[in-house]
């Protein structure tokens, strides 16, 4: 009996202590070096709070002195409610509808990890899914050569941006001509282009492992999106919907395709258990859309030898 009471007391406390730094980081918008990392895991805090709540409710039901348990239960309910409110837009809510007869455009965004991702798989996905615009982060000359050997130039003959060494390159491939509008001064290449009557920001800001560069790059996304009135922000943004910089983009009118389709939890990294994680746990690859377009479908795609899942989005004008 004592052991059971100890479990009901200690385990919820440990779960709350583990999750609370994530909650506080998300709540305060902390972008310190540690805060950037903690905030990325905000959706995962739902689980420890939910388990803690179940155990505390059991303690209330079984216990004789219920007031301490009720107080702890109220605290956990409040913390859980915060995370539910933050997560809710991914599963409920309205979205713009496509205009009658509007042409569908399919966009695929892939981080191919130092150019090592399987180019043939990407090209096959372009063909099979009828992709009109492909945005590739960490694109290298080797990847471009392999993709062209697999027939990329036949299906998406127009291109903008440059291949780079390892992480620096960002390129856009399209079935229609591309007008390069501007370059954005992120640590890795980012560019604004116009194609398929869409203006899109193809971007790859710095990762959290480079926190000073992350803090420099992230505000540039909103600035470029506003300056060029882009329809889409596309790429490995190295930030989740819980980071304040992406929330600023959402508040300014660029909503995530997953949210627009009530797609729920859709993590994209790490794709193959990197860092000892068994599956992807954070959504850092995005297609953010303004209300000039409606998103009709979202999917994720595994690219062998790349540590990100690709994102495939179909959209149409409103």
pLDDT tens digits, 71-104: 889 999 999 999 999 999 999 999 999 999 999 9
- The mean pLDDT of 21-48, rounded to a whole number, is 97
- The mean pLDDT of 43-61, rounded to a whole number, is 91
In a domain, 97, yes or no: no
- pLDDT given for residue 127 in this prediction: 98
In a domain, 140, yes or no: yes
Nearest Cα to Cα of residue 295 among 242, 232, 237, 238: 232
In a domain, 99, yes or no: no
Domain co-membership, 110 together with 77:
no
In a domain, 153, yes or no: yes
Domain co-membership, 52 together with 132:
no
- The mean pLDDT of 94-118, rounded to a whole number, is 96
Check pLDDT > 80 for residue 65.
no
Check pLDDT > 60 for residue 2.
no
Please write the tens of the pLDDT for every residue from 254-264.
999 999 999 99
Task: Examine the fold and report which residue of 61, 90, 119 is the final residue of a domain before the chain moves on.
Answer: 90
Domain co-membership, 31 together with 132:
no
Please list the alpha-helical segments (H only) found in the chain.
2-28, 33-40, 46-62, 66-87, 119-128, 141-149, 152-155, 211-227, 244-251, 257-260
- pLDDT given for residue 64 in this prediction: 58
Domain co-membership, 65 together with 110:
no
CA distances from 256 to 12, 24, 126, 163, 259 (A): 33, 23, 21, 27, 5
Check pLDDT > 70 for residue 189.
yes
- pLDDT given for residue 71 in this prediction: 83
Domain co-membership, 139 together with 85:
no
**How far is residue 104's CA from residue 126's CA, in Å, rounded to a whole number?**
15
**How far is residue 192's CA from residue 182's CA, in Å, rounded to a whole number?**
5
Domain co-membership, 256 together with 294:
yes
- pLDDT given for residue 36 in this prediction: 98
Domain co-membership, 54 together with 111:
no
- The mean pLDDT of 220-236, rounded to a whole number, is 98
Domain count, the chain: 2
Task: Examine the fold and report which residue of 56, 90, 124 is the final residue of a domain before the chain moves on.
Answer: 90
Regarding beta strands 232-236 and 198-203, do their DSSP bridges make them parallel or antiparallel, or are they unpaired? Answer: parallel
- The mean pLDDT of 280-307, rounded to a whole number, is 96
**How far is residue 282's CA from residue 264's CA, in Å, rounded to a whole number?**
12
Give Cβ neighbours of residue 71 (< 8 Å, ≥ 6 apart). none
Mean pLDDT, the chain, whole residue set: 94
Domain co-membership, 113 together with 45:
no
Q: Give 273's pLDDT tier (boundaries 50, 70, 90).
A: low
Domain co-membership, 210 together with 76:
no
The CATH number linked to 189 is 3.60.10.10
Check pLDDT > 90 for residue 274.
no
In a domain, 246, yes or no: yes
High-pLDDT (> 90) share of the chain, %: 87
Dihedral of the alpha carbons of 218, 223, 229, 230, in degrees to the nearest 10? -20
In a domain, 98, yes or no: no
Domain co-membership, 45 together with 148:
no
Check pLDDT > 70 for residue 196.
yes
73 or 120, which is more confident:
120
Residue 75 domain boundaries = 2-90
- pLDDT given for residue 57 in this prediction: 87
Please write the tens of the pLDDT for every residue from 152-168.
999 999 999 999 999 99
Domain co-membership, 310 together with 239:
yes
In a domain, 95, yes or no: no
In a domain, 96, yes or no: no
Task: Examine the fold and report which residue of 43, 67, 90 is the final residue of a domain before the chain moves on.
Answer: 90
pTM assigned to the model: 0.93
Domain co-membership, 85 together with 114:
no
């Amino acid at each position: 009996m004592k052991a059971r009471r100890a479990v009901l007391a200690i385990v919820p406390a440990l779960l709350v202590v583990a999750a609370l730094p994530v909650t506080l980081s998300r709540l305060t918008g902390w972008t310190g070096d540690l805060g950037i990392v903690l905030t990325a895991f905000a959706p995962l805090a739902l689980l420890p709070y939910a388990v803690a709540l179940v155990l505390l409710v059991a303690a209330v039901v079984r216990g004789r002195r219920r007031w301490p348990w009720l107080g702890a239960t109220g605290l956990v309910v409040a913390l859980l409610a915060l995370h539910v409110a933050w997560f809710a837009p991914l599963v409920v809510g309205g979205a713009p509808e496509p205009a009658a007869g509007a042409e569908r455009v399919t966009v695929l965004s892939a981080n191919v990890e130092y150019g090592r991702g399987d180019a043939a798989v990407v090209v096959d996905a372009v063909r099979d899914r009828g992709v009109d615009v492909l945005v590739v982060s960490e694109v290298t000359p080797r990847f471009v050569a392999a993709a062209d050997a697999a027939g990329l130039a036949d299906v998406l003959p127009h291109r903008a941006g440059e291949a780079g060494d390892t992480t620096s390159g960002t390129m856009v491939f399209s079935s229609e001509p591309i007008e390069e509008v501007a370059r954005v001064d992120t640590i890795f290449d980012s560019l604004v282009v116009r194609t398929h009557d869409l203006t899109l920001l193809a971007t790859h800001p710095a990762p959290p492992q480079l926190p000073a560069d992350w803090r420099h790059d992230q505000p540039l996304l909103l600035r470029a999106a506003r300056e060029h009135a882009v329809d889409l922000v596309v790429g490995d943004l190295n930030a989740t919907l819980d980071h304040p910089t992406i929330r600023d983009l959402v508040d300014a009118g660029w909503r995530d395709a997953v949210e627009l389709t009530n797609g729920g939890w859709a993590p994209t990294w790490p794709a193959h258990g990197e860092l000892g994680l068994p599956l992807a746990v954070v959504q850092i690859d995005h297609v953010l859309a303004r209300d000039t377009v409606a998103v009709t479908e979202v999917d994720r795609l595994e690219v062998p030898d790349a540590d990100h899942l690709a994102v495939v989005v179909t959209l149409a004008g409103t």
